[in-house]
Structure 1
Amino acid sequence: MKDVAAVAGVGLKTVSRVVNGEPGVREETAERVRKAVEQLDFRANDGARLLRQGRRTSSVGLIVEDVADPFYSTLTRAVEEVARAHGALLFSGSSAQDPERERQLALAFGARRVDGLLVVPTAADHGYLAGETAAGTVVVAVDRPLAGPEVDTVLCDNEGGSRSGVEHLLRQGHRRIGYLGDAPGIFTAAERLRGYQRAMAAAGCESRPEWVSMGRPDALGVRLALERMLAGRWPVTALMCGNNRTSVAVLRELAGRERRPALVGFDDFELADLLPVPVTVVAQDAGRLGWTAAELLFRRLAGERGAAQRIVLPTRLVIRGSGEAAP
């Protein structure tokens, strides 16, 4: 700002008035300031100005597992639209399921004085957020609960959704149903596995250990799991997949087989409805998840008080064909 004042031949206060759109400056002088601003490519530090005025920075941070995942990209876009409607900027980053990377991102956003944080948790302990919440930063957990501070949480009905998918396969006459899920330490993966187990138990069906595979959806792991489930004396006749990436990996492995097990996936995915046998899925609304969490955060920023809320959004079964094959 000093450089702008020197080039325009005015005082710092005059530059401040012009940059902030305040009255009291002659048009001729204001034009000199604007030309100096353009010449020097000056950018006002809105964050510093707001902090000096004791105001918020009008920015929020979002940490997801992987912004390239269609589920999280949809969630991010919904949060961005809510932030824009409230006149705020959104900073976002991917934790890559790495607790240390999540911590670094959260603290980096906090150092930039964001007003609030939306976090898809990865870490087993979120005690590091205590300093942020004590400083007045609003925190909302999305998709999974935080392990630590008592904060607002917005989830989807993971257990109920998984249970509804398995129950659909049971209604088609299947009794030997395999389950492929994500790493068991992930909250959503554990909840969806529980839904599968409870649906099988309620129907009086056995759930053999060789019919369950939990781990990251890499090609080799999925191939070995399917070989185990589809071989032997009691091969499965149907599969429940715990997320969209697992569903895609399973479909790749089953491609070219003359006989395929019935399949229901948790999470919809692009082109699932256009495959030769369209894929039946348990769909969760990522956009609604992001929108609900962001609106809750901005209500808190506007002064809403009360105990931490836990909101659970419903899922829906989308019947397309792959889950309706008879045993």
Structure 2
Amino acid sequence: MFKALILVDNDFINYSIDLTDAAQRLAGEEELQLYGLGINLENQQIKGFDTLICVEEPAIQAKDSRVITDIVQQVHQKYDFDSIFILATDFGRMVAPRLAMRLKAGLVADITAIEVDQQSRKLIRPAFSGNMLASIICDTKPIMASVHPNVFQAEEVTKQPEIVNFSVGQMKPSTIEVLTVTENEKQQDIREAEVLVSAGAGFNEDLDQLTDLAHKLKGTVSASKPVVEQNRAPREIQVGQSGKTVSPSLYLALGIYGSMQHIEGLKNVKDLISVNIDQGAPLNYLANIIVVGDAVEFVAKLKHRLNC
């Protein structure tokens, strides 16, 4: 029996459920017992687990990583899991290393694939700024991993879990105090978009020029890592291993070279159009359609053709 725990992120419940796919892959041919841990879920209906461990403590600050780490540690001490998966969100990145230190376990961050054979279990992640992939053999437990949202995708999640209420023991009081709250303008998450118009270093104009085109295609604008590093786009719209993993129906890549770091951010893209002056750009080898030419000129002509 292989016992896996997934920490449910209240802000990304569907992506948390997707981690059941990662747990299934890691279990290999062993029988899998899937546990979810939810904290202050407020009666939200969650499927896909064999057992859902619920902690209802109104005094717990939802984003207090130290208190959440205490809770996960207590749950692990009771159930003795073989693996623990945590979403690599901003919050998950605070919890995962703290928990690994508590449990004296290794942590493989930002995994993109899992390989299991009769000899070993391997977690795969990009290394050296995404220029190569590292296969890390895990032979101690618990095997801990953090995973970007949308990297793994669970199918047909219908299983109704057994609900187990868990009472936490003595915990240090939260030291987090909310001083102010600022509401940001709501923008479509690029992970949810069916169409992405994505700019790379080869698109050297203002990204605002892509807004009308994206709207015309009923999509949104995204960008590659170099564009974000040039302060031409916010990190929230970055595609890639250090950004977000996306699965659009159409991905229009404008001047994107296609490093491994960027390609790791593309999962199950149905149609990929690559526009680049470099015919040998790596992304071209993944594209359904290749346009060899200047991305800025291509955008101008396409907008004219679409009357936008």
Q: Normalising by the residue count of structure 1, what TM-score does the alignment of the two structures yield?
A: 0.33
| Higher relative contact order structure (alpha carbons within 8 Å, sequence separation ≥ 6) | 1
Which one has a bigger Cα radius of gyration?
Answer: 1
Structure with the bigger percentage of helix: 1
TM-score (norm. length: structure 2): 0.34
